[in-house]
Amino acid sequence: QKEVEQDPGPLSVPEGAIVSLNCTYSNSAFQYFMWYRQYSRKGPELLMYTYSSGNKEDGRFTAQVDKSSKYISLFIRDSQPSDSATYLCAMSYNTDKLIFGTGTRLQVFP
């Protein structure tokens, strides 16, 4: 079993839809949880960073962490074609060494 599981997609939604991206993990020692967005042939861009259970909101993005279920989510409201990218979840213990999910490809069509 992988430490971090993420559905690779692709996920295709119409513009304006609410997108839900998810990751599950097996190791309860993870303390930091992140979501990155990666456009083709570019480095990942940090979208959300959290270290506790609960919700964190930033503009159209909401990150949700449920440590009891070992489950994290990223919600994108009012999705735009510019949101089309690969979204990577990442987690770490009390270090900077990240464990990544495989990434979910999202396509938002006009």
Partner 1 sequence: GAVVSQHPSRVICKSGTSVKIECRSLDFQATTMFWYRQFPKKSLMLMATSNEGSKATYEQGVEKDKFLINHASLTLSTLTVTSAHPEDSSFYICSASDTPGKLFFGSGTQLSVL
Strands of the sheet containing 19-25, edge to edge, are 4-6, 19-25, 71-76, 61-66, 54-58
Measured distance CA(43)–CA(16) in Å, rounded: 26
Contact 87, 9 (CB under 8 A): no
Binding status of residue 63 toward partner 1 by CB under 8 A = no
Among 44, 63, 72, 83, binds partner 1 (CB under 8 A): 44
Among 1, 59, 68, 97, binds partner 1 (CB under 8 A): 97
Measured distance CA(6)–CA(103) in Å, rounded: 6
Stretch that binds partner 1, among 12-20, 52-60, 71-79, 91-99 (CB under 8 A): 91-99
Q: How far is the CB of 16 from partner 1 (least distance, A)?
A: 27
Residues that bind partner 1 (CB under 8 A): 31-32, 34, 36, 41-46, 49, 51, 88, 90, 92, 94-98, 100-103, 105
